[in-house]
Chain A
Amino acid sequence: MAGRDRLSESPGANRGVPDFLGRPGASPYHRLNPLTKATIATVTAIAAVVLGGLLGPILLVSLAVIGPAAVAGVLGRLVRTALLLALPIAISAFLVNLFFFPGGEAVLLRIGPITATAEGLGFAMEILVRILAISGAVTLFYLTTRPADLVVDLERRGVSPRVGFVTNASVQTVPAMVDRAAQITAAQRARGLDTEGSIWRRVRGVVPIVGPVILGSIAEVEERTMALEARGFTRPGRRTLLWSPPDSGIESALRWALVLALVALIILRVTGTWA
């Protein structure tokens, strides 16, 4: 597969299209078209939910997440990141379903008025696998795809650059806010704010941090908007693209096959053909 698909060469340029634009990824999985990877992630996440049970999602994750992550050499990072992303919601969902599953009869454990049942445990495990499947699929996509590549690829397909920008900015907002929160926390602690100790103290410590994080982010968005305006981002008409990620007929067929398979799976589940 070619490293990139130059839209055409530019012999008139003094130094030509730089070779480093769209440099091919490190592994065959990295080198897949961003839309193919996005399709795999989306189909895997939805299919894991639709399939239900334990075996189906586990097989799916092995095939569509763990296998490609091993090929891409990002398995360790994938496991760490996916767990970090999923754990807060996974733990709470697991506990709620374990202890509050309606109609559970096979009691495993009693803690005061609440009871863990075997039925609850089974359902909690199913939910846990689904959450991990979604988290793993999304994490694999972001570990193997540069956001800029996805934006360029979407734009090449006629998607508005604004949609690409919003998609990318949304992804990058989270780490930016985490960084800002860390800076503000450090600054507040340097001035005596207590963010350690009892839970009540920690909660009280969060209050003076939330305001500056949110207000600062809003101010940044305003300045970012102005900076984009000042660089002609709102100009009507198509932008010039210097390069685009490679794509192939095989990848296009794979994307359609995945989407059709997902639609078929949903129909089978909805109609009860596949119990």
Chain B
Amino acid sequence: MTLSLEAVGYRYAGATRPSLLEIDLELAEGAVIGLVGASEAGKTTLCLVASGLAPRTVGGQIRGRITLDGEDVDGWPMHRLSERIGIGFQNPATQMSQVAGTVFEEVAFGPMNLGLSRTDVIDRTWEALSSLRIADLAERDPLRLSGGQQQLVAMAGLLAMRPAHLVLDEPTAQLDPAGTRMVAAAINQMAASGASILVAEQKTDLLADIAAEVIVLAKGRVALRGPAADVLADDRLAQLGVAAPAAVTLRRAAATAGASHPRLAEALRG
């Protein structure tokens, strides 16, 4: 199960310049790829393109090739793509369907749209709720949850669709540290279950914990890419408008100050 982007470029309708240029990306089963970059670097646009929403829903012009397991998805309708690729956004509130009276129905919304049997819908819903450890929220009104809980419900809704690939656009942007930890644990759970995940994030500390590979975008192009530990420790990160993880910053500060202690070095490595 691989989602591939080959030399993909994208321009929004009415825009004079493309927002993405020559993007190559391969999202293989179980992989977690982090996406960072300064504001306007193209992170959200890449998420929309990878999920298929751009240009299908958003409009605009796309170039290059996007394939799912080698099959070109050009011409696939959005509802067909949505069974294979899920996308989550940064604002948890806008991801609630508003037609569900309970969290259970909210999570079941996607499978219900697919016209599955009720048994399948119910099984998928419980499974998604359980895998993100929010089954105890099933009876609650989704519109009366905290931001972190709503984001988890939104993710459970995506999981219940059982997509092979997940695209998450800054899922923790509006969350407090507790909500961020919940989402990080959820992403690890989803990757462990075999889903491949592309996650755009400003919080490099979070990416250091969850991503195996990190891509840095600048002005719509890939500026850096490689193993997360290497990219997030790269000196060029600051020039590209990305803050290094706290551990990297502290390690550099300790090195500059000449501080060395075996336990400090061990902690910073972790």
**Number of contacting residues on B, CB 8 A?**
48
Interface residues of A in 202-241 (CB under 8 A from B): 220, 223-241
Chain B residue nearest to A148 (CB atoms) is B101
- The answer for the CA separation of A227 and B86 in the assembled complex, in Å, is 9
Task: Mark contacts of B226-250 with chain A using CB atoms, 8 A cut-off: 1 yes-contact digit, 0 otherwise.
Answer: 0000000000000000000000000
> Which of A14-22, A52-60, A80-88 is the interface stretch?
A14-22
Stretch touching chain A among B114-122, B180-188, B216-224:
B114-122
Interface residues of B in 140-156 (CB under 8 A from A): 154
- Assess whether A232 is in contact with B121, with CB atoms less than 8 Å apart: no
Segment of B7-15, B20-28, B33-41, B91-99 in the binding face: B91-99
Given A20-B102, A223-B89, A231-B110, A238 and B138 touching (CB < 8 A)? no
Within the complex, the shortest CB–CB distance from A26 to chain B, in Å, comes to: 14
User: Is A160 an interface residue when CB atoms closer than 8 A count as contact?
Assistant: no
Bound CA span A271–B49, Å: 62
A161 to B99, CA, bound (A): 10
In this complex, how many residues of chain A approach chain B with their Cβ under 8 Å: the count is: 44
Which single residue of chain B is at the shortest CB-CB distance from A8?
A: B118
CA distance A15 to B26 in the complex (A): 38
Interface residue A10 (Cβ < 8 Å from any Cβ of B) = yes
Which among B76-84, B196-204, B251-259 touches the partner chain?
Answer: B76-84
Residue from B58, B95, B114, B115 within 8 A of A227 (CB atoms): B95
Q: Is A151 an interface residue (CB 8 A)?
A: yes
A228 touches B121 (CB 8 A): no
Which residue in A17, A224, A237 is a CB contact (below 8 Å) of B94?
A224
Please report the C-alpha to C-alpha distance between residue A16 and residue B100 in the assembled complex, in whole angstroms. Answer: 19
Question: A147 to B99, Cβ gap below 8 A?
Answer: yes
Whole-angstrom CA separation of A209 from B30 in the bound complex: 45
Q: Do the beta carbons of A228 and B97 come within 8 Å of each other?
A: yes
Of the residues A10, A16, A168, A236, contact of B99 by C-beta under 8 Å: A168
Q: Across the interface, which residues of B come within 8 angstroms of A164, CB to CB?
A: 99
Which single residue of chain A is at the shortest CB-CB distance from B52?
A230
Closest to B94 in A: A223
Contact between chains at A169 and B113 (CB < 8 Å): no
Nearest-Cβ distance from residue B12 to partner chain A, whole angstroms: 12
**Alpha-carbon separation in the docked complex, A149 to B113 (Å):** 17
Decide if A235 touches B114 in the complex (CB within 8 Å): yes
Does any Cβ of B come within 8 Å of A172's Cβ? yes
Interface membership of B173, Cβ < 8 A: no
**Among candidates A165, A238, A240, residue contacting B121 with C-beta atoms closer than 8 Å:** A240
CB within 8 Å of A: which of B159-190?
161
- B19 within 8 Å of A by Cβ? no
Given known pairs A13-B119, A242-B112, the reply for A148 and B99 (CB within 8 Å) is: yes
Contacts of B62 in A (CB 8 A): none
B157 within 8 A of A: yes
CB distance from A123 to the nearest CB of B (A): 41
The verdict on A239 contacting B86 (CB below 8 Å), with A13-B123, A230-B51 known, is no
Query: Within the assembled complex, what's the spacing in Å between the Cα atoms of A21 and B100?
Result: 10
* Interchain residue pairs with CB less than 8 A apart (11): A13-B122, A13-B123, A147-B99, A151-B99, A223-B89, A226-B53, A226-B87, A231-B113, A231-B161, A234-B77, A241-B118
**What 11 additional pairs, Cβ within 8 angstroms, besides A13-B119, A223-B95, A235-B82?**
A10-B122, A15-B126, A147-B99, A147-B101, A168-B98, A220-B91, A229-B56, A231-B109, A231-B157, A240-B121, A242-B112
The 3 residue pairs across chains A and B that have the minimum distance between CB atoms? A148-B101, A235-B79, A232-B113
- Name B's A-contacting residues (CB within 8 A): 48, 51, 53, 56-58, 77-79, 82-83, 86-87, 89, 91, 93-95, 97-102, 104-105, 108-119, 121-123, 126, 138-139, 154, 157-158, 161
A→B interface (CB under 8 Å): 7-8, 10, 12-18, 20-21, 146-149, 151, 161, 164-165, 168-169, 172, 220, 223-242
